[in-house]
Amino acid sequence: MDAKKIDRLATTILYLIAGIIVIILASLLGYILVRGLPHISWHFLTAPSQSFKAGGGIGIQLFNSLYLLVLSMLISVPLALGAGIYLAEYARENKLTEIIRTAIEILSSLPSVVVGLFGFLVFVLQFGFGFSILSGALALTMFNLPLLTRNVEDSLRQVSFDQREAGLALGLSRWETVIHVIIPEALPGIITGMILGAGRVFGEAAALIYTAGQSAPALDFTNWNPLNIASPLNPLRPAETLAVHIWKINSEGIQPDAAAVSAGASAVLILAVLLFNVLARVIGNRIYKKMTAV
Amino acid sequence: MQNYSLADTYIKPLDPAEHELALETKNLKVFYGDHEAIHGASLQFERYKITALIGASGSGKSTFLRSLNRMNDLVDKARVTGEILYRGLDINSDKIDVYEMRRHIGMVFQRPNPFAKSIYDNITFAPRRFGEKNKKVLDEMVETSLKQAALWDQVKDDLNQSGLALSGGQQQRLCIARAIAMKPDILLLDEPASALDPISTSQVEDTLLALKDHYTIIIVTHNMQQAARISDYTSFFYSGTAIEFDETRKIFTRPQIQATEDYVSGHFG
Amino acid sequence: MDPIQQAMLKKSHAAKLERRGKLISLFCISLIVVVVLAIFFFVASRGLATFFTNKVNLWRFLSQTTWSPAVKDASGQPQVGALPMIVGSFGVTLLSAVIATPFAVGAAIFMTEIAPNLGKKVLQPVIELLVGIPSVVYGFIGLSVVVPFIRNIFGGTGFGILAGTFVLFVMILPTVTSMTVDALKAVPRHYREASLALGGTRWQTISRVVLRAAMPGILTGIVFGMARAFGEALAVQMVIGNAALLPTNLISPASTLTSVLTSGIGNTVMGSLENNALWSLALLLLLMSLAFNLLIRWIGKKGEIK
């Protein structure tokens, strides 16, 4: 075969590969949505789950996922901002910084099940938080922190060094300049990263099965006192999330409608992640336009 | 291009009895790691005058300027030795609070760097951080400094537009306005017109001449005509050394050192 | 002394803010470092107990094939042979990487060299969405589509290494693809131009010049994908069958380090041998993740020298 023919053949194969990947995604999404969407109803989204009979919903799990997400973002976002600022603004090029960067790299590549097990050992047992929202939120923080930190650092570095000089030459501290000038300018990137991180957290299960637990006790949605055990806001109650629920009913569930519930829950999960992706784009772009508006 | 002796220098001393000094350096050296970038410069800067620092690129004039308000502190491996005397204090010492010092020794950079904020906020941001909350005072500050920077007439109708929406020359004058809103004693300018077109350049030059009555100005420029047009004193830098310092008139007509003469007559640079 | 002199000799508000800010940011970064150290300390202290407290022989742990920590064998030794899980983990990891690599590299070439426009508009979002799909959803699809499919074709239960491989293939595909795209984009333009100018076809240019120049980056992407596959827990656990037996083929139930951990750790008593043995598996997982990290660094260094 001559070179031209090989070239044409290679191009065909490459188109084929690209096509197969698109088909894989399309069939994944198609399967989940076709199987799951018919199952989604107001009842499904709000009713509590059932362990032994059909007709269970995912109301509590959905709430748990959202609450856990909010709580873990509340902990991890300030920490990631602080750590990202350190790396982008204060870290000098030396051995210490190298060690810090290595640590972050290692943390970001740790299997999430290991992070979950560590959370189990330390938060659940050692600190006595038990299987709880709090333990889960801390585990998710560890899981999410390295990527968020890197995102903050990258976004800050995107802002020209000129801007820091401008602030400093006026007698402002580096800290003030970063907080009031650099961060606002880096906001589109930071927000996009945060929303993508939120999507990751929302779908995470391995880090949660031994921290937030695998049970979803009934909640009293009229009781908003965070100290009451039946209150949805109580951070020390066990809280099975949507993703954990899908895993649970598939690996040991005995509900007759387990497959349908999983499909419905998966569809909700996928839609949520899609929503996070779209939001990340839209909000990032909008803030960017606003910041650079002329 | 021939090599000139770095030992051959002429620094005209200013008699403090006749010339009030705003700033003075004594044996100022700058190191980047092991490399000595400035070899002990001792220069005097007279109050309410414009002093120009000229020289080829890489001659150390910008490095020297950035040491004067300790912007080199930002550079990881930079080290500055020697004295910088301001109001009788050596501001190159650890005892001096650099943030307070920089409020009195302002700086304008080569590339215009307004904040991504409105014109109004660009000017009032730092004063507000320093505690000025009075709207009237701030309004007045914006107007005065924009007028001094010769920008007021062009932007007074829309102070809320972004500073980035201005043209390059306007942005640079906004940066000057931002710096003088702090009411500094001394204004350091690092090739403020190098990124600008000729019309904007002459606008900035006019601005500087008008500012001379209230500020001591030290300006780095690679443009000799500019130095000749606006400055009272000029210092010629060559290879990290302040080779010659004198009244601008003399530097451009009767320089004492061969290197200076070759540079100002355009033989290298 | 004039007020300015006095002010310059005092610590300014800005200096105090700077100090405080620096401390805050230092605290945040230190916390991350402490967490990493703590993870290693706690997992190691638990995982090593099997060998130091329960006196299990390390070599037996790594080479024996019977995993039933609660039962002692004829010689009175606890049966904690982790080889089935080690083989299972490496099996799914290597197989999924082998399948994913041609797809990922092909897709990356398509996106950078063949049809950048189509790549950016179609393939890029597809890849990003694939990353975003949670692993339990992959597990669910594996369970309800892949496993029955394998059962229908090859017989048996359908659970096993093959099912795990398929699921992991899709999961690591986006990781490897996007890193390969970065590697290809980093190849300077003039490499391609030089080759094309010498009369090379597009494919010759890609296969002989671009791919070769991007090789360290592509390898890094593959190792990243393998690290992800090795550490993935739930999706694999849902389709592999969870039988701690040394796999003899690809379609009989098997297990991985992560699958045994997820199903086991809640059912054992803290401090017991059964529990310690599981922590030893976790430690192994941790060390492998570290090994992948080192491998990536090593490839990066090699690439630099060239």
- Chains with 3 or more CB pairs under 8 A to chain B: A, C
Q: Which of B73, B96, B100, B103 to mutate: most C Cβ within 10 Å?
A: B100
Please give the mean pLDDT across all residues of chain A.
90
Flag whether residue A275 sits within 8 Å of chain C, measured between CB atoms: no
Q: Is A125's CB within 8 Å of C32's CB? A: no
In Å, how far from its chain's centre is CA B215? 11
ipTM, 2 dp: 0.92
Q: Is B115's CB within 8 Å of A162's CB? A: no
CB neighbourhood size of B17 (10 A)? 6
Q: Are B107 and B189 in contact (CB under 8 A)?
A: yes
Helix segments in chain C, DSSP class H: 3-9, 13-47, 49-52, 58-63, 83-109, 116-118, 124-132, 135-141, 147-154, 161-185, 189-197, 202-204, 211-231, 234-239, 257-264, 273-305
pLDDT digits (tens, 9 = 90+) for A252-284: 767 788 888 899 999 999 999 888 888 888 888
Closest partner residue to C137 (CB to CB) among A78, A259, A270 is A270
B125 occurs within a structural domain: yes
pLDDT digits (tens, 9 = 90+) for B56-91: 988 999 999 999 999 998 888 899 999 999 999 999
Q: How far is CA C76 from CA A130, C58, C72, C79, in A?
A: 36, 16, 5, 9
B263 min Cα distance to partner chain C (Å): 39
Tell which C residues from 13 to 32 touch B, by Cβ distance under 8 Å.
13-15, 18
CA pair distance C263, C253, nearest whole angstrom: 15
What is the per-residue pLDDT for B256?
A: 93
Q: Which residues contact B162 (CB under 8 A, 6 or more apart)?
A: A292, A293, A294, B116, B117, B118, B119
Q: Is C231's CB within 8 Å of A110's CB? A: yes
pLDDT in tens, chain C (306 residues): 788 999 999 999 999 999 999 999 999 999 999 999 999 999 999 999 989 888 888 888 888 888 887 777 777 778 888 999 999 999 999 999 999 999 999 999 999 999 999 988 999 988 988 888 999 999 999 999 999 999 999 988 899 999 999 999 999 999 999 999 999 999 999 999 999 999 888 999 998 899 999 999 999 999 999 999 999 999 999 999 888 888 888 889 999 999 999 988 878 888 888 889 999 999 999 999 999 999 999 998 887 755
Q: Which of A173, A183, A249, A270 to mutate: most C Cβ within 10 Å?
A: A173
Q: For chain B, how many structural domains are there in total?
A: 1
Closest partner residue to C5 (CB to CB) among B89, B98, B130 is B89
pLDDT digits (tens, 9 = 90+) for B112-164: 999 999 999 999 999 999 999 999 999 999 999 999 998 999 999 999 999 99
B2 occurs within a structural domain: no
SS3 track for C24-73: HHHHHHHHHHHHHHHHHHHHHHHHCHHHHCCCCCHHHHHHCCCEEEEEEC
For residue C14, what is the nearest residue in chain B, using CA coordinates?
Answer: B99
CA pair distance B191, B109, nearest whole angstrom: 7
For residue B92, what is the nearest residue in chain C, using CA coordinates?
Answer: C8
What is the per-residue pLDDT for C63?
A: 87
For residue C262, give both structure tokens: 């997820």
Q: Is A184's CB within 8 Å of B116's CB? A: yes
Q: What is the mean pLDDT of residues A165-176?
A: 96
Please give the mean pLDDT across all residues of chain B.
93
B4 occurs within a structural domain: no
CATH second-level architecture of C83-305?
A: Orthogonal Bundle (1.10)
Burial A177-206 (b: 16+ CB within 10 A, else e): bbbbbbbbbbbbbbbbbbbbbbbbbbbbbb
Closest partner residue to B99 (CB to CB) among C5, C9, C14 is C14
Q: Is C201's CB within 8 Å of A4's CB? A: yes
CA pair distance B68, A173, nearest whole angstrom: 17
B269 occurs within a structural domain: no
Tell which A residues from 93 to 152 touch C, by Cβ distance under 8 Å.
99-100, 103-107, 109-115, 117-118, 120-122, 125, 142, 145-146, 149
Taking contacts as CB-CB distances below 8 angstroms, the residues of chain A near B103 are 170-171
Window from A46-60, A80-94, A105-119, C15-29 with minimum mean pLDDT: A46-60
For residue B127, what is the nearest residue in chain A, using CA coordinates?
Answer: A170
- Chains with 3 or more CB pairs under 8 A to chain C: A, B
Q: What is the mean pLDDT of residues A114-127?
A: 94
Q: Is C140's CB within 8 Å of A250's CB? A: yes
CATH second-level architecture of A40-291?
A: Orthogonal Bundle (1.10)
Flag whether residue B211 sits within 8 Å of chain A, measured between CB atoms: no
Whether the pLDDT of residue A57 is over 90: the answer is no
Instruction: Report which of B264, B216, B156 is spatially closest to residue B20, judged by C-alpha positions.
Output: B216
* Residue boundaries of the structural domains of chain A: 40-291
CA pair distance C8, B84, nearest whole angstrom: 14
B184 min Cα distance to partner chain C (Å): 11
Q: What is the mean pLDDT of residues B31-37?
A: 93
C14 min Cα distance to partner chain B (Å): 6
B3 occurs within a structural domain: no
At residue A67 the predicted structure's pLDDT band, cuts being 50, 70 and 90, is very high
Residue ranges making up the domain that contains B224: 10-264
Window from A218-232, B64-78, B159-173 with minimum mean pLDDT: A218-232
In one-letter notation, the amino acid at residue C255 is S
Q: Is B162's CB within 8 Å of A163's CB? A: no
Q: Is C8's CB within 8 Å of B101's CB? A: yes
Q: Is A162's CB within 8 Å of B103's CB? A: no
Q: Is C135's CB within 8 Å of A206's CB? A: yes
B1 occurs within a structural domain: no
Q: Is A146's CB within 8 Å of C32's CB? A: yes
Q: Is C8's CB within 8 Å of B130's CB? A: no
Q: What percent of chain A has pLDDT over 70?
A: 98
A224 min Cα distance to partner chain C (Å): 30
CATH of the domain at B54: 3.40.50.300
Taking contacts as CB-CB distances below 8 angstroms, the residues of chain C near A270 are 133-134, 137
Tell which C residues from 182 to 221 touch A, by Cβ distance under 8 Å.
200-204, 206-207
